[in-house]
């Protein structure tokens, strides 16, 4: 049994990938599922859609690889983080649609908690800030707004889980209610220092302890997928949230290693080792992974708009037909123009955390055209990454440009222009790997590690292969001028909120 099945359950689609023992990919299957937007700022998924798309892609991937259940050593799960499901313990029926990580409906709950002066204690225990992004306030909202839900929860009839936990429960036929430390650390309910659900946090957010899953290592025996699903039982041996899984897939096992994933948004994690680093620059302190009961921590920065800015060029402005056109177009831009886009389409994430501000373009002239806009869009992703990079270096005393290794993955990394500009602005090398499917690979590795298919982290890291290293080539003066212009643009956007 030298194959591992990775479930990569994302925000807009579910994917399944079969990896061989040499980490090469044997088969891939993917299926999109509907998004629901019942009100402004609300985003929901139908849990049944998540489940059926996951099972269908798993079956499809196994069929394409020509495998039976008996050929598969283990299943690993990685998932869209923070998305919240509450379901009935007896029937398995969800009491409400899943509330997605992007959903902002609990902004008032968050404002109330902040107003009561609770952010310091919540931040100290969880490493997070109070924001609708995280799961805790979503659970509270469901219990308060679904008729009878709070009473049922108090009687022990309801279960809460992030998507990994919900899938695990379904895969095991309702036998196992568990999650891993990385997903637990994104709920506002988990103490990342003690590694346990926290009674004080549960009381603050009014979530009954009986709803919560058991928390395990990221690489652990979680249970068995029931035989009727895939024609035989398969052990489930790995779980991690998607950004942590990508960190593992990038083999960032050493403190100082950083990965940045460029999808719809951008998420950067810096491995800080066995010590959680408290951020003074509005970054999150989170669990990167937990192996053999030992937690490894990370600083995380979240950018809400990366690839979605390229989608805006394509769908909103009609400037391009395909994302791949953006780099060549940006290359034709007028070098004498300094056009900046601050893509705060849904507010700004780290290190600013302002949900109210909106995007803006600066430096427009009569000669500004499609090439300059494409240039500004791609550069905006690099500038935002620079802000995270600078915040991480300020927060972590061991960090310097010389010690941080940046590995990148995700759709936007296919653009050589963008990756070169990123290296230029960071004044540091940017490494793009041979295997881009790092999130699924991370889930596969965690499962394969427990199942004996893959070696210990140090040896697995030897399998990481560089496809291209982008080295900085920009002059110090040009870099300083560009970064100063970006800082002015961000200041202007933030000032617009103060003026209202």
Encoded tokens for 123: 């931040």
- Tens of pLDDT, residue by residue over 370-391, are 898 989 999 999 999 999 998 9
Look at residues 427, 8, 23 and name the one whose alpha carbon lies nearest to residue 250: 23
Strand pairing category for 257-262 and 405-409 = parallel
Check pLDDT > 70 for residue 7: yes
Domains along the sequence of the chain with CATH: 3-243 (3.30.420.40)
Per-chain mean pLDDT for the chain: 91
Check pLDDT > 60 for residue 401: no
What is the DSSP annotation of 169-188? HHHTTT---EEEHHHHTTSS
Region class of 135: left (phi > 0), else alpha (psi between -120 and 50), else beta = alpha
- For residue 126, the model assigns a pLDDT of 96
- Tens of pLDDT, residue by residue over 255-286, are 888 899 988 888 999 999 998 999 988 899 99
Strand partners, 470: 430
Find all residues with CB under 8 Å of 467, minimum gap 6, and list them. Answer: 432, 433, 434
The model's confidence at residue 498, banded by pLDDT at 50, 70 and 90, is: low
Look at residues 136, 103, 101 and name the one whose alpha carbon lies nearest to residue 118: 136
% pLDDT > 70, the chain: 98
- For residue 500, the model assigns a pLDDT of 47
Check pLDDT > 90 for residue 396: no
Q: Are 180 and 163 in contact (CB under 8 A)?
A: no
Q: Tell me the Cα Rg of the chain.
A: 22
pTM to 2 decimal places: 0.89
The span from the CA of 384 to the CA of 392, in Å, is 13
Look at residues 379, 330, 348 and name the one whose alpha carbon lies nearest to residue 492: 348
Check pLDDT > 70 for residue 402: no
- For residue 399, the model assigns a pLDDT of 60
Check pLDDT > 60 for residue 289: yes
- Tens of pLDDT, residue by residue over 94-129, are 999 999 988 888 988 998 999 999 999 999 999 999
Check pLDDT > 90 for residue 178: yes
Q: Are 96 and 147 in contact (CB under 8 A)?
A: no
The whole-number average pLDDT for the span 403-423 is: 88
Check pLDDT > 90 for residue 40: no
Of the ranges 322-331, 426-435, 476-485, the best mean pLDDT one: 476-485
The span from the CA of 310 to the CA of 306, in Å, is 7
Check pLDDT > 80 for residue 403: no
- Tens of pLDDT, residue by residue over 155-171, are 999 999 999 999 999 99
The model's confidence at residue 400, banded by pLDDT at 50, 70 and 90, is: low
- For residue 13, the model assigns a pLDDT of 87
Check pLDDT > 80 for residue 53: yes
The whole-number average pLDDT for the span 338-355 is: 86
Encoded tokens for 56: 């269908």
Find all residues with CB under 8 Å of 340, minimum gap 6, and list them. Answer: 361, 362, 363, 376, 379, 380, 383, 485, 486, 489
The model's confidence at residue 1, banded by pLDDT at 50, 70 and 90, is: low
The whole-number average pLDDT for the span 15-44 is: 91
Look at residues 318, 344, 225, 263 and name the one whose alpha carbon lies nearest to residue 13: 263
What is the DSSP annotation of 339-399? -EEE--BTBB-TTT-BSS---EEES--TT--HHHHHHHHHHHHHHHHHHHHHHHHHH-TT-
Check pLDDT > 90 for residue 309: no
301/399: higher pLDDT: 301
Q: Are 304 and 322 in contact (CB under 8 A)?
A: no
The span from the CA of 445 to the CA of 454, in Å, is 7
Look at residues 267, 277, 274 and name the one whose alpha carbon lies nearest to residue 388: 267
First to last CA, the chain: 62
Check pLDDT > 70 for residue 8: yes
- For residue 204, the model assigns a pLDDT of 95
The span from the CA of 378 to the CA of 306, in Å, is 8
Strand partners, 408: 260
Q: Are 359 and 304 in contact (CB under 8 A)?
A: no
Give alpha helix (H) positions in 278-346. 307-311, 326-331
- For residue 51, the model assigns a pLDDT of 97
Strand pairing category for 44-45 and 266-273 = unpaired
Look at residues 139, 161, 138, 170 and name the one whose alpha carbon lies nearest to residue 7: 170
The span from the CA of 113 to the CA of 119, in Å, is 7
Q: Are 210 and 156 in contact (CB under 8 A)?
A: yes
The model's confidence at residue 199, banded by pLDDT at 50, 70 and 90, is: very high
């Amino acid at each position: 049994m030298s194959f591992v099945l990775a479930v990569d359950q994302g925000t807009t689609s579910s994917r399944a990938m079969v990896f061989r023992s040499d980490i090469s990919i044997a088969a891939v299957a993917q299926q999109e599922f509907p998004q629901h937007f019942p009100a402004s700022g609300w985003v929901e998924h139908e849990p049944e859609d998540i489940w059926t798309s996951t099972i269908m892609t798993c079956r499809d991937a196994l069929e394409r690889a020509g495998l039976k259940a008996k050929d598969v050593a283990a299943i690993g799960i990685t998932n869209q983080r923070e998305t919240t499901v509450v379901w009935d313990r007896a029937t398995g029926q969800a009491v409400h649609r899943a509330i997605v990580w992007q959903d902002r409906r609990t902004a008032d709950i968050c404002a109330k908690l902040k107003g009561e002066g609770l952010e310091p204690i919540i931040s100290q225990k969880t490493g997070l800030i109070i924001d609708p992004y995280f799961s805790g306030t979503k659970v509270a909202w469901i219990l308060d707004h679904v008729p009878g839900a709070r009473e049922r929860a108090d009687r022990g009839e309801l279960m809460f889980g992030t998507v990994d936990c919900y899938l695990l429960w379904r895969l095991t036929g309702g036998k196992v209610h568990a999650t891993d430390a990385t997903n637990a650390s994104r709920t506002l309910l988990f103490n990342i220092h003690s590694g346990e659900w926290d009674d004080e946090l549960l009381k603050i957010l009014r979530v009954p302890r009986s709803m919560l899953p058991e928390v395990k290592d990221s690489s652990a025996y979680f249970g068995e997928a029931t035989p009727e699903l895939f024609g035989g039982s398969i052990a489930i041996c790995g779980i991690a949230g998607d950004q942590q899984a990508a960190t593992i897939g990038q083999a960032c096992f050493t403190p100082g290693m950083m990965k940045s994933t460029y999808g719809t948004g951008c998420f950067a994690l810096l491995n800080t080792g066995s010590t959680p680093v408290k951020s003074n620059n509005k970054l999150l302190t989170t669990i990167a992974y937990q192996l053999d009961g030992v937690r490894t921590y990370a600083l995380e920065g979240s950018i809400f708009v990366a690839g979605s800015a390229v989608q805006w060029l394509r769908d909103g402005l009609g400037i391009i037909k395909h994302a791949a056109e953006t780099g060549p177009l940006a290359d034709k831009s007028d070098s004498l123009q300094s056009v900046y886009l601050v893509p705060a389409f849904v507010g700004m994430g780290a290190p600013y955390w302002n949900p109210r501000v909106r995007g803006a373009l600066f430096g427009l002239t009569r000669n500004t055209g499609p090439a300059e806009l494409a240039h500004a869009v791609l550069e905006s992703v690099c500038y935002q990454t620079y802000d995270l990079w600078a915040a991480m270096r300020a927060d972590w005393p061991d960090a310097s440009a010389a010690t941080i290794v940046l590995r990148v993955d995700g759709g936007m990394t296919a653009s050589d222009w963008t990756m070169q500009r990123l290296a230029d602005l960071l004044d540091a090398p940017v490494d793009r790997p041979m295997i881009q499917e790092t999130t699924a690979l991370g889930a596969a590795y965690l499962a394969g590690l427990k199942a004996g298919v893959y070696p210990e982290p140090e040896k697995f890291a030897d399998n990481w292969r560089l496809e291209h290293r982008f080295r900085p080539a920009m002059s110090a003066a040009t870099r300083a001028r560009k970064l100063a212009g970006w800082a002015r643009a961000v200041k202007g956007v933030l000032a617009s909120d103060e003026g209202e």
